[in-house]
């Protein structure tokens, strides 16, 4: 298939998953944030923005600014509206490849973005709506597209972004909020009930973090998401079945996954920041490696330009 199309599909997967994860984090933390007095709100809002990968541009950055930055700002793909817009833009370029129902779903979502009130109450509804839409995108992706190469690129993007978002959910533990942080982490991932069913009694930060990091059966855990990415990569490049050269993306994803999956430690909470950092870095590196291997027109053009 065309590299350009593959790249679009990969980014549809990433952007939709990013919108989903961001909406989940926002929904849960907005509730906490809203319970804080205004002065604390400001510092927590800034830290949350940091977890999502941006820096506040001024000191007065507070709750309304946070809502704008991670929910409604169309100009940046780090916000929910921005990533859903970008996903739709990518789908527009690959319209003949994605199923018409998937395109329509993304397009409807895009037009629905502006129909929400941007205050706190409206944002709760917005998050709820986004989760419904992204679930629909996920369902249509899996049920209306052949599970061929194009679908694999979509799944690859989705899985990598999911690992990244779960890492961010775990990082919200460090954000100074009221209440028990592990409950928040789990609720972000929609994992609260699943987690409770696996643990009969003792639950605390460590168990929750372990669950989101390493559980082999929960689909939003980092190990699970990385395994999905690994499988997609393996199917995309079937030549790599024996010893010898393995492509960079598979190596990065595989090393990160196996390290986490078989890592045992007595003090997970102390190591957690490093895990999060490494997972996020691995996702970024894998994404770059995938771009180089499959979507590499930009690089080549630059190189050609240099020689001529």
Partner 1 sequence: MHGQPIDEKLSSMSDLFEDYAVAAARTGAYDEMFAPDQVARSTYRQLEGALASLDLADVSSRADSMARTFLDRGVTFDYAGEERPFPLDIVPRVISAGEWDVLERGVAQRVRALEAFLNDVYSKMSVASDGVVPRRIITSSKHFHRQVHGFEPAGGVRVHISGIDVVRDGAGTFRVLEDNVRVPSGVSYVLENRRAMAKGLPEAFSQQPIRPVEEYPRRLLSALRRTAPAGVDEPTVVVLTPGVFNSAYFEHTLLAGLMGVELVEGRDLICRGNRVYMRTTAGEQRVDVIYKRIDDDFLDPLQFRSDSMLGCPGLVNAARAGGVTIANAVGNGVADDKLVYSYVPDLIRYYLGEEPIIANVDTFRLEEDDAREEVLDRLDELVVKPVDGSGGKGLVIGPDASPEELETLRRRLIEDPRGWIAQPVLQLSTVPTLSGNKFGPRHVDLRPFAVNDGEDVWVLPGGLTRVALKEGSLIVNSSQGGGSKDTWVLAQSRNVPIEAEPRHSISIRERTSVWPVESSWRDRQAEQQ
Q: Which is nearer to partner 1, 59 or 266 (CB)?
A: 266
* CB contact at 8 A, 260 and 214: yes
Residues that bind partner 1 (CB under 8 A): 31, 34-38, 40-41, 120-121, 124-125, 174, 176-181, 183, 193, 195-201, 203, 248, 251-252, 255, 259, 263, 265, 270-271, 273-275, 277-278, 284-285, 288-289, 292
Collapsing DSSP to helix, strand or coil, 54 comes out as coil
Q: Which is nearer to partner 1, 97 or 221 (CB)?
A: 221
CB of 113 to partner 1, least distance (A): 19
Q: Which is nearer to partner 1, 88 or 275 (CB)?
A: 275
Tokens 């972004």, located at residue: 161
Q: Which is nearer to partner 1, 25 or 94 (CB)?
A: 25
CB of 95 to partner 1, least distance (A): 30
CB of 234 to partner 1, least distance (A): 19
CB of 178 to partner 1, least distance (A): 5
Q: How many CB atoms lie within 10 A of CB 197?
A: 8
Q: Which is nearer to partner 1, 96 or 302 (CB)?
A: 302
**What torsion, rounded to 10 degrees, do the Cα atoms 239, 241, 244, 248 define?**
70
Q: What is the 3-state secondary structure (H, E, C) of 99-153?
A: CHHHHHHHHHHHHHCCCCCCCHHHHHHHHHHHHHHHHHHHHHHHHHCCCCHHHHH
**For residues 289 and 283, what is the distance between their CA atoms, to the nearest angstrom?**
10
CB of 4 to partner 1, least distance (A): 21
Q: Assign residue 202 a region: left if phi > 0, alpha if psi is -120 to 50, beta otherwise?
A: beta
CB of 270 to partner 1, least distance (A): 5
Instruction: Tell me which residue of 21, 144, 157, 162 sits closest to 80, measured CA to CA.
Output: 21
Q: Which is nearer to partner 1, 270 or 304 (CB)?
A: 270
């Amino acid at each position: 298939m065309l590299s350009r199309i593959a790249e679009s599909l990969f980014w549809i997967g990433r952007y939709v998953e990013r919108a989903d994860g961001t909406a989940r984090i926002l929904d849960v933390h907005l509730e906490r944030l809203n319970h804080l007095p205004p002065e604390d709100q400001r510092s927590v809002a800034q830290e949350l923005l940091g977890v999502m990968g941006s820096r506040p541009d001024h000191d007065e950055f507070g709750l309304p600014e946070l809502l704008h930055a991670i929910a409604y700002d169309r100009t940046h793909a780090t916000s929910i509206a921005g990533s859903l817009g970008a996903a739709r833009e990518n789908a527009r370029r690959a319209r003949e490849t994605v199923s018409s129902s998937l395109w329509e779903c993304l397009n409807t979502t895009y037009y629905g973005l502006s129909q929400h009130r941007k205050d706190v109450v409206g944002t709760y509804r917005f998050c709820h709506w986004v989760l419904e839409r992204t679930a629909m995108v996920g369902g249509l992706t899996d049920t209306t597209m052949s599970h061929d190469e194009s679908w694999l690129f979509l799944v690859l993007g989705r899985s990598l972004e999911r690992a990244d978002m779960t890492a961010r959910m775990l990082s919200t533990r460090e954000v100074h909020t009221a209440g028990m942080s592990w409950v928040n982490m789990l609720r972000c991932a929609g994992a609260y009930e699943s987690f409770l069913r696996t643990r009969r009694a003792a639950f605390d930060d460590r168990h929750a973090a372990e669950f989101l990091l390493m559980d082999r059966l929960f689909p939003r855990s980092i190990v699970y998401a990385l395994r999905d990415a690994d499988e997609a990569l393996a199917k995309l490049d079937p030549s790599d079945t024996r010893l010898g050269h393995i492509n960079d993306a598979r190596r990065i994803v595989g090393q990160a996954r196996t390290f986490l999956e078989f890592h045992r430690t007595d003090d997970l909470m102390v190591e957690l920041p490093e895990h999060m950092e490494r997972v996020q870095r691995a996702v970024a590196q894998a994404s770059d490696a995938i771009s180089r291997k499959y979507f590499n027109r930009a690089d080549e053009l630059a190189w050609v330009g240099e020689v001529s």
